[in-house]
Structure 1
């Protein structure tokens, strides 16, 4: 039987199948439905996307196939939007299922639920930067909307509503709850076990961005138990 992900993307390419029961464009198969995103005009200033452009990556079905595609994450709607090629006009949204992983160069979008100390459950799509038995490092994009302001006098201009995208980072060890962090040395020192190796690492290396954190995680995991 044809794998679901492969069939969806073949259908997007315009290749048909005689197996109507597995047709994601058949309205009766609601759990398998591929949706075409409708264009919606907005008066809000700002972009709801974490990636401004459709970015090349791989869509993976857990335990199954992989397919090259282009995608971007709509933070406001918590949806990953897909194209087969960047020049394609149609935008697709795959079924909202945990078995689909959207892999980009530096992170993957995964659908899940994470328990964060002092925050509770963080749900929806997250940016997965690293996940192993020892360390989990993710980010959850969010939007901040500023309401429109009417002009108070004839000399002022009205201010339209605006939207800004940000991201919160979460880090944790093993099965422990994740903790919200900033990308700074002291936050990781508060979570990681103290050892002479890690003290030396932090002395020799600065933590300023995602790549610095990934290198630190690789070093930490290389130390063993």
Structure 2
């Protein structure tokens, strides 16, 4: 369970940033935290998309940045930081459009985007943004409610939490559309012979495979 909720960017004081820099980060408005759902008292699985805390970079729209341990809680829809590696204190960050969280292979940002599933306001993970394409993910959570034992021989089952990434792709300025990371699904986004050959010659199973494919598409004329 998260120990504290902080509003504003006071968290920077916990990681050795001077007071002036902390005050600069606090200059943004809209510091209200919206949560999807609270963690059950007991559960199996994990509400986090990342298996553990990752050293990432927090950036704001004024060019300031900070390296810190962090991961995304998909159940409560917040980024959580761990200011000190050897302590168990965790802090939820405010949901601001002016702040992004770079995890290396992807960057979390919050926005309201138009997709084939309707308008979605949430944290998205940006895997790639090129000249002709945009590849995003949205961590989604499924909670199985706790179940009481049906007989004296059974045991109560706690709630179960499962987090998976739902992927969206936009090509040539088209609307973001949900997709699976499979060649037969991704082929439908492209019409050129070069891309048909690419799919014939390459397997796509991971986010990195998709990024590699989109970078290749950016090199094509037209």
TM-score (norm 2): 0.83
Q: Structure 1 residue 22: deviation in Å?
A: 6.1
Matches within 5 A, 1:73-88: 73-88=72-87
Q: Does 1:56 align with 2:55?
A: yes
Structure 1, unmatched stretches of 5+, are 1-6, 35-39
Is the Cα contact below 8 Å between 1:142 and 1:165 reproduced in 2?
yes
SS for the counterpart of 1:221 is: helix
Residue matched to 2:204: 207
Regions of 4+ moved over 3 Å: 7-10, 14-24, 29-34
Is the Cα contact below 8 Å between 1:54 and 1:86 reproduced in 2?
no
Q: Structure 1 residue 13: deviation in Å?
A: 2.8
Question: In structure 2, what is the Cα distance between the partners aligned to 1:64 and 1:125?
Answer: 20
Question: In structure 2, what is the Cα distance between the partners aligned to 1:20 and 1:90?
Answer: 19
Q: Structure 1 residue 146: deviation in Å?
A: 1.0
Residue matched to 2:159: 161
Aligned with 1:220 (options 197, 217, 222): 217
> Which structure has the larger Rg?
1
Structure 2, unmatched stretches of 5+, are 1-8, 34-38
Residue matched to 2:124: 126
Change (3 A) 1:141 1:17: closer
Q: Does 1:13 align with 2:15?
A: yes
User: How many pairs are equivalent?
Assistant: 208
Change (3 A) 1:20 1:83: closer
Change (3 A) 1:91 1:165: same
Matches within 5 A, 1:36-115: 42-115=41-114
TM-score (norm 1): 0.82
Instruction: Please tell me the root mean square deviation across aligned C-alpha atoms, in Å.
Output: 2.7
Change (3 A) 1:223 1:101: same
Is the Cα contact below 8 Å between 1:126 and 1:139 reproduced in 2?
yes
Q: Does 1:143 align with 2:141?
A: yes
SS for the counterpart of 2:198 is: helix
Change (3 A) 1:22 1:46: same
Question: In structure 2, what is the Cα distance between the partners aligned to 1:17 and 1:69?
Answer: 17
Q: Structure 1 residue 132: deviation in Å?
A: 3.2
Residue matched to 2:193: 196
